[in-house]
Amino acid sequence: MKKIKSMFEKHDLFKIVLLAVLITIVFTWIIPYGQIASGTYTKVGLARQGLSDILLAGVYGGSLFIQQIIFIVFIGLFYGILSHISGYKALVNKIADKLKGKEKLFVIVSTLLVALLTSILSQVYVVLIFIPFIINIASRLKLDKITTFLCSFGAMIVGVLGATYGTDGLTSFIYYLNYYQSVTIVDEVAIRFGMLALAFVLYTFFTLQHMNKVSKKEEKVEDIYVVEDEKSKKVKVWPMIVFLSIIAICTILGYVNWSENFNIEIFNDFHTWLTGLKIGEYTVVSYILGANATALGAWDLYTITVIMALVLLVAVIVYRVKFDEIIENALEGIKNIVKPILLLLMIYSIFAFLYWNPFTGTICNWITHFADGFNPFLASLSAIVSSFFHIDFGYTGFVLGDILSTTYGEFFNLGILIYSTMNGLVQFVAPTSVLLIFGLSYLNIPYKNWIKHIWKFALCMLAFLVIIFALLAYV
C-alpha cells in the first residue's frame, strides 16, 4: 500500500488518468460490443485496441474536441495578457479589497452564478471564460486551494448536475433520444431546477463546513495568472469594467438558446435583417460577419473567441501595452495551460476508444435487464457506468437511446432525468471528468486531496437522488 501511495504522490493526475485509459483499453479486450435495436441486444464481437491505436486515439479524440482545445488555449492567451494590464490589476485588487472579511459571501455568490450559467447556457466550456477571474480574486483573498476549486470549477459541475435549459451534453443527449421518442429540453425542466437547487444547497453546506474547518496552514491557491499589485493610483478602472461587461453580456446573449427554449425569435429575426442589409447589390454586413456567423443564442465557441480577441485588442490599445509585452505575456499564458490540455487529450482518447468499441452498451444492457421493467436503482447504476466512460454526455444518448426508449416505457422522462443528474454527479469524482481533471491541474490539487473532501457530498447527493428517483417511480 505504501508503494502504491508513493507512486501517486508526484504527477498523480497524469497517473490516475493514464490508469483510466489503460482500464478502458483492457475492457476492449474482454467486453464485446453490440448493437441495440428495438430493445434487443445483438453481440458484434471484440474490437481490441492495441499499441498502434493508442496514439491514434489521442489524435482522433483531440480532433473531435479541437474547438474546445482551441478555446482553452485562447483563454490561456487572454488571461496571460489581461493579468498584466494595469486596469485589470487595479480592478481585481479593488474587488478583493472590498471583499476582505466577506470571503464566504464571495464563495457562495461565485458558486451560485457559475452553477446557474453552466446550467442555462448552451455550452459548458464557455463558462471557463469567468473562472480565471474568480481565481484571481480568490488568490488575492488568500483562499485555500480546495475552497477556490469549489467556487469555480466545482461550481461548474454543480451546473452540469442540475442542467436545466443548458449544456451541450444534455442538448445532444435529447437530440439522439428524439430518434426514438419525441422529447424536448423543457420536459421535466422544473424537476431539473429542483435538482440544481438541491445540489447547490448541499454543496454550499459542505463548502462552508470546509471553510470553517480549514486551518491557516492550509496551502493557499496557486494562481497561474498571478495579478500583482497595481502601484499607480491614476489607472482608470471603468474601461476594463466595460470590456469585461461586454464579454459577459455577449456570453449570456450568445449562449442561451432563445428560440428553442423560450420561443423568442427576436434574435433570429434581427440576424436575418442585419445580414440582409445591402449597399447597392452587396450584403456588406454579411461579408464582414462571415458566412459562418449565427444569430444570438446559436453561437459556437469560435464566435466568443473572436469577441474576446477584439475586446482584448481594444484593451491593450486603451491601456497602452507594448507589443513585445503582449507577445511575451501571451506565450507565457499559453505555456501555463499546457499541462491541463495534455491531460484533456488523454481523457479525449478514452472517448475515441469508446467510439471504436462501445462496450458500455453491453454493460448497460446487462444492468438494465437484470430486472424486469424499469428499475430506478439499476437505471442509476447504468447511468454511472456510462457517465464514467463516455466523456461526452451526448454520446450516451447515441449508444443507449434505444434502451431508454424500449425498456423504460412510461418512465422515459424519468430515465432522462436519472442519466442527466448522474452524469453530473459522476463528474465530481471520475478521473475521466474533463472539468474535474482540468480544474485540479489548473490549481495544482492532488486527486486524493480532492476525493478526501468531496466524498461526503457525493455520497449524500447520491443517497438523495436515489430516494427521489424511487419516489418518482413508485409513488
Instruction: Compute the 3-state secondary structure of the chain and give helix, strand, coil in percent, each to the nearest 5.
Output: 70, 5, 25
Give the residue-averaged pLDDT of 349-370. 89
Confidence of residue 246 (pLDDT cuts 50, 70, 90): very high
Q: pLDDT tens across 450-462, in order?
A: 999 999 999 999 9
State whether residue 144 is helix, strand or coil: strand
Grid coordinates representing 298? 446559436
Contact status, residue 197 vs residue 112, Cβ threshold 8 Å: no
pLDDT score of 287: 80
Give yes or no for residue 4 having a pLDDT over 60.
no
Closest CA to 16 of 440, 358, 335, 336: 440
What's the 3-state SS for 53-70? HHHHHHHHHHHHCHHHHH
Q: pLDDT tens across 178-236, in order?
A: 888 888 888 888 999 999 999 999 999 999 999 998 866 666 778 888 888 877 778 89
Give yes or no for residue 276 having a pLDDT over 80.
yes
The separation between CA 451 and the C-alpha centre of its own chain, rounded to angstroms, equals: 19
Closest CA to 143 of 205, 221, 41, 43: 221
Give yes or no for residue 7 having a pLDDT over 80.
no
Contact status, residue 274 vs residue 285, Cβ threshold 8 Å: yes
Give yes or no for residue 335 having a pLDDT over 70.
yes
Question: What is the Cα–Cα distance from 18 to 24, expressed in whole angstroms?
Answer: 10
pLDDT score of 116: 96
Confidence of residue 35 (pLDDT cuts 50, 70, 90): confident
Any idea what DSSP says for residue 360?
Answer: H
What one-character-per-residue DSSP string does 103-130 give?
A: HHHHHHHHHHHHHHHHHHSS-SGGGGGT
Which stretches of 263-320 are DSSP H helices?
Answer: 266-275, 284-289, 301-318
**230, 438, 252, 204: CA torsion to nearest 10:** -90
**Arithmetic mean of pLDDT over the chain:** 90
Q: How far is CA 18 from CA 239, 297, 354, in A?
A: 45, 37, 15
Tell the burial category of 2 from Cβ atoms under 10 Å away from its Cβ (0-12, 13-18, 19+): exposed
Grid coordinates representing 189? 425542466
Strand 40-45 with 33-37, pairing? antiparallel
**What is the radius of gyration, based on Cα positions, of the chain?**
23
Q: pLDDT tens across 395-430, in order?
A: 998 888 888 888 888 888 899 999 999 999 999 999
pLDDT score of 14: 94
Grid coordinates representing 224? 497561474
Question: What is the Cα–Cα distance from 208 to 212, expressed in whole angstroms?
Answer: 6
Instruction: Name all contacts of 322-328 with Cβ < 8 Å and 24+ positions apart.
Output: 325/84, 326/81
Confidence of residue 239 (pLDDT cuts 50, 70, 90): very high
Confidence of residue 3 (pLDDT cuts 50, 70, 90): low
Which residues face 40 on adjacent strands? 37
Looking at per-residue pLDDT, the higher value among 16 and 176 belongs to 16
Any idea what DSSP says for residue 221?
Answer: P
Give yes or no for residue 37 having a pLDDT over 80.
no
- Least confident range from 64-68, 95-99, 217-221, 436-440: namely 217-221
Any idea what DSSP says for residue 410?
Answer: G
State whether residue 5 is helix, strand or coil: helix
Please report, rounded to a whole number, the percentage of residues in the chain having pLDDT higher than 70.
97
Looking at per-residue pLDDT, the higher value among 46 and 329 belongs to 329
- Specify the pTM: 0.93
Give the residue-averaged pLDDT of 158-183. 88
pLDDT score of 8: 53
Question: What is the Cα–Cα distance from 126 to 118, expressed in whole angstroms?
Answer: 8
Cβ partners under 8 Å of residue 327, min gap 6: none
